[in-house]
């Protein structure tokens, strides 16, 4: 296996500590076998085997050399693209599609990276896998580790992850360690544990996670007949997806499989926006922030993949935007009321598309795919708090509070107006 450090450019041949000696993050360097779009089309009708996965369908572009005996798959991917009039109207983007990654087996996009990184862990003979998480990575890792028979250790910021996600990690049998601190503290501990205890890291610091997440872009393009949209908007926390999307597009272009590249819009929460500050301020180095947002999945102040993500924004003529908690929750309410539904962090992409359309960064006739990263039921508490007006400092625009009535039909008629 060959890896390249995105900071110093050096080639690296083993994932010791998962970073380069200089501290930079690594990316996989492929020698691609011959392939074509027809190969990916031909696999769409398969009913069994790894190629029916919406990740492994693109094996030649993700992990060409791994043997079928190492692949740990549910399968994942094959998530839907939706058009919803209400969301188009709300954002002002008429030609808008929602790519719902919450439809993956454990309810988030993480399964795409996890199937690849866990398979690579099996291939390389790892026995203990570990991650830091705001919840979804731990849920996904716990499920795939259980399937592969690996011991799983998750580090989560104490009291900061939703019960939906915590329940998954516990139920799938992971060792759950609650760290007294933030996600960024948990991430530091995972890095140290990998060096000192030999844990195999399954955060997007592991370049194989990024390889799997490239398939979100591949699948969006395939579902659109390989016709790229003008924009892809994606919520941004630790920046693994933003990194993956740029690599996917760069490689597709290199291979001559696409000509036009969509622009990537990477959307952070206003209270957890170090990447936005870096890009806006034209800084050379990311300055960590103390994160604060209702979207707990992206409550991250010191994202790991910022160098790769910055390459994505530069190469795709992309933008970085940030949106307030109120904008996130109102966008979520609109996505939810369209019947599609998502968790709070996911709606950052839709809130970002609205903001960028209002600022005319996204043009009137441009087509936008917004990635929804997680399922509505990942965080029911926040949804209920929004609709019952129980969120401090946040006035909901689309609240749908439940009504309490006497147990007779007359009162029910009255309540329903
Ligand atoms: N949306 C959701 C629902 C997430 O869970 C995450 C990240 C993101 C967006 C941000 O994606 O890190 O690729 O920029 N969740 C991680 C976790 C950090 O631990 O589950 P990113």
* β-strand pairing of 3-5 with 26-28: antiparallel
Ligand 1 in reach of 234 Cβ (< 6 A) = no
Ligand 1 in reach of 349 Cβ (< 6 A) = no
User: Which residues lie closer than 8 Å to 315 by C-beta, 6 or more apart?
Assistant: 246, 249, 250, 261
CA of 83 to the centre of ligand 1 (A): 23
Question: Rounded to two decimals, what is the model's pTM?
Answer: 0.98
Ligand 1 in reach of 182 Cβ (< 6 A) = no
Number of H helices, E strands in the chain: 15, 13
User: Which residues lie closer than 8 Å to 257 by C-beta, 6 or more apart?
Assistant: 36, 37, 226
Q: Can you give the pLDDT at residue 16?
A: 83
Ligand 1 in reach of 102 Cβ (< 6 A) = no
Closest residue by CA, ligand 1 atom 15: 297
Tell me the C-alpha distance between 268 and 278, whole Å.
Answer: 12
CA of 21 to the centre of ligand 1 (A): 26
Handedness of CA 382, 387, 392, 395 (dihedral sign): positive
Closest residue by CA, ligand 1 atom 12: 238
- Among 169, 232, 297, which is best to mutate for testing ligand 1, by the most ligand atoms less than 8 A from CB? 297
- Among 100, 202, 238, 242, which is best to mutate for testing ligand 1, by the most ligand atoms less than 8 A from CB? 238
CA of 373 to the centre of ligand 1 (A): 8
Ligand 1 atom nearest residue 309's Cα:
14
CA of 241 to the centre of ligand 1 (A): 8
Ligand 1 in reach of 298 Cβ (< 6 A) = yes
* β-strand pairing of 151-157 with 11-12: unpaired
Q: Can you give the pLDDT at residue 186?
A: 96
Ligand 1 in reach of 168 Cβ (< 6 A) = no
CA of 403 to the centre of ligand 1 (A): 34
Ligand 1 atom nearest residue 345's Cα:
1
CA of 414 to the centre of ligand 1 (A): 43
User: Which residues lie closer than 8 Å to 116 by C-beta, 6 or more apart?
Assistant: 55, 62, 63, 208, 209, 211, 212
CA of 53 to the centre of ligand 1 (A): 21
Give, for 60, the enclosing helix (H) or strand (E). helix 59-62
- Among 135, 136, 276, 371, which is best to mutate for testing ligand 1, by the most ligand atoms less than 8 A from CB? 136
Tens of pLDDT, residue by residue, the chain (417 residues): 999 999 999 999 998 889 999 999 999 999 999 999 999 999 999 999 999 999 999 999 999 999 999 999 999 999 999 999 999 999 999 999 999 999 999 999 999 999 999 999 999 999 999 999 999 999 999 999 999 999 999 999 999 999 999 999 999 999 999 999 999 999 999 999 888 998 999 999 999 999 999 999 999 999 999 999 999 999 999 999 999 999 999 999 999 999 999 999 999 999 999 999 999 999 999 999 999 999 999 999 999 999 999 999 999 999 999 999 999 999 999 999 999 999 999 999 999 999 999 999 999 999 999 999 999 999 999 999 999 999 988 999 999 999 999 999 999 999 998
């Amino acid at each position: 296996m060959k890896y390249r450090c995105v900071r110093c450019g050096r080639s690296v041949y083993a994932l010791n500590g998962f970073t380069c000696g200089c501290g930079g993050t690594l990316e996989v360097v492929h020698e691609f076998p011959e392939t074509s779009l027809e190969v990916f089309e031909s696999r769409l009708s398969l009913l069994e085997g790894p190629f029916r996965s919406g990740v492994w369908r693109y094996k030649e572009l993700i992990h060409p050399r791994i043997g079928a005996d190492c692949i740990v798959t549910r399968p994942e991917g094959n998530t839907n693209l939706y058009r919803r009039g209400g969301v188009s109207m709300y954002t002002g983007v008429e030609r808008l599609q929602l790519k719902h990654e919450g439809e993956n087996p454990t309810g988030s996009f993480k399964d795409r990276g996890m199937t690849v990184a866990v398979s690579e862990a099996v291939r390389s003979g790892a026995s203990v896998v570990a991650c830091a998480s705001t919840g979804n990575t731990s849920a996904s890792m716990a499920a795939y580790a259980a399937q592969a028979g690996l011991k799983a250790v998750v580090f989560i910021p104490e009291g900061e992850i939703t019960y939906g996600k915590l329940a998954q990690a516990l139920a799938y049998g992971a060792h759950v360690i609650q760290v007294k601190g933030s996600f960024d503290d948990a991430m530091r501990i995972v890095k140290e544990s990998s060096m000192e205890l030999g844990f195999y890291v399954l955060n997007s610091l592991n370049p194989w996670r990024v390889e799997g997440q490239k398939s979100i872009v591949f699948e969006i393009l395939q579902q659109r007949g390989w016709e790229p949209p003008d924009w892809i908007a994606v919520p941004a926390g630790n920046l693994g997806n933003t990194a993956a999307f740029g690599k996917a597009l760069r490689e597709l272009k290199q291979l001559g499989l696409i000509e036009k590249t969509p622009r990537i819009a990477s959307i952070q929460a206003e209270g957890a926006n170090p990447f936005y500050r870096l890009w806006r301020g034209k800084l050379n180095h990311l300055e960590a922030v103390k994160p604060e947002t209702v979207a707990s999945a992206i409550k991250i102040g010191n994202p790991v993949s910022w160098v790769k993500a910055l390459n994505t924004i530069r190469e795709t003529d992309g933008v970085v935007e940030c949106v307030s908690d109120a904008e996130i929750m109102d966008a979520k309410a609109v996505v939810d009321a369209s019947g599609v539904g998502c968790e709070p962090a996911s709606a950052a992409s839709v809130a970002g598309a609205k903001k960028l359309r209002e600022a005319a960064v996204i043009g009137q006739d441009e087509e936008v795919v917004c990635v929804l990263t997680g399922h509505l039921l990942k965080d029911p508490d926040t949804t209920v708090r929004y609709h019952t007006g129980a969120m401090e400092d946040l006035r909901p625009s689309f609240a749908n509070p439940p009504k309490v009535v006497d147990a007779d039909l007359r009162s029910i008629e009255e309540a329903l107006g």
